[in-house]
Structure 1
Amino acid sequence: MAILEKFRKAKASASQALTAARSSLADIRSQIASKQTELEGLDQRPVAFAEAVAALDTKLREQCEIGEYALKRMAHDLSGRIDGYSVFRTTHIEGREIALQTLLAGSAFRDALIAQLEAVYGNDPGLTSEERAAERERIEGELDDLEAMEEMLIREGAKAGIPIARRKDAHPGALLAPDSALPA
């Protein structure tokens, strides 16, 4: 009877260890999923508002240059013509309507576009390139730590005879890391 009792206790102990391991692993995997979602959300954040306005100004300057070119070509082609209707038929305007509008109504057009940007941004100031890089580095570091903890649990489970399946998207760096590189 003593052997049967020892077996039951060992089985109960192994069952408790398995439950604890699976619970810890589920917690770590939940945290990994949360960090992956956080990383995806980072990519959805807009650029800093000031960077967006600077990009807008660059585009507007480019459009003004195109508009100026179109007007110069029209003036050259129309020199000597008096028929005003031919201004609207010239091929130098086609496809350059935005450029001409930008050139002729520059500041009002810019103000309207910035008002639209402000509405899109709302209370989110966006992220500068430096802020985005720092945030990405922080999240990826935390994710690497969690992946290493998960791999350590899987390996410890294997040593104890507890089979634990790896995630399909497990980080190769954690999978290939030597035991000495994993948390103790």
Structure 2
Amino acid sequence: MDITGGDPLYRIHGTASAGQVVELRYTPTVADMAEGLRPYGRSRAGRRQRLPFVLIGLVGPGYAAIIVAQGGEALGSAAALSVMGLFGWAFVLFGHRIMAGTTRGLLAAAGECRAVVDGEGVTVDSAQGSVHLRWTALSCYAETPATFMLYSGDKRVLGGALLPKRGLADPGEQDVLRALLDGKLERI
């Protein structure tokens, strides 16, 4: 019985990931990390993390407008609330870049990386050491034009793996890597 419904793409993905190993060699950059973190904001956990900043962005300037409309005796407070609201919106809009910027030193120290993705999980070797993540340690992944970003199940996104597509030896390996990830993780 054919459960694929005759879909040739499904058969390609099913056979491509069976027993395959994909290797990547790359030097990670802050731009890669920012691009990899951006899709997380569209996930349920990412929206939940951004909610307080959205509220600050709405309530701060809104309350400042009420203070000014009622006579403006506390203009300093109104200005502070407005600035706080602007910081809230800045984090909502540019939080992925801010978070990526905090990894600058770590990425620079890592140097050239070698990542191996197989049926067991993901192993990343760098100048600082080796990390092996089993599939059970990861919850989902996102694909962007330049990266595959694997996210941990942790609510604070403290773990995961960045896999820039430029690290693949052959562009055709993207399909094999995508098939491996689709078979093991949920795509966001």
Instruction: Provide TM-score, normalisation by structure 2.
Output: 0.28
Looking at secondary structure, tell me which structure has more strand per residue. 2
Looking at secondary structure, tell me which structure has more helix per residue. 1
Greater Rg by CA:
1
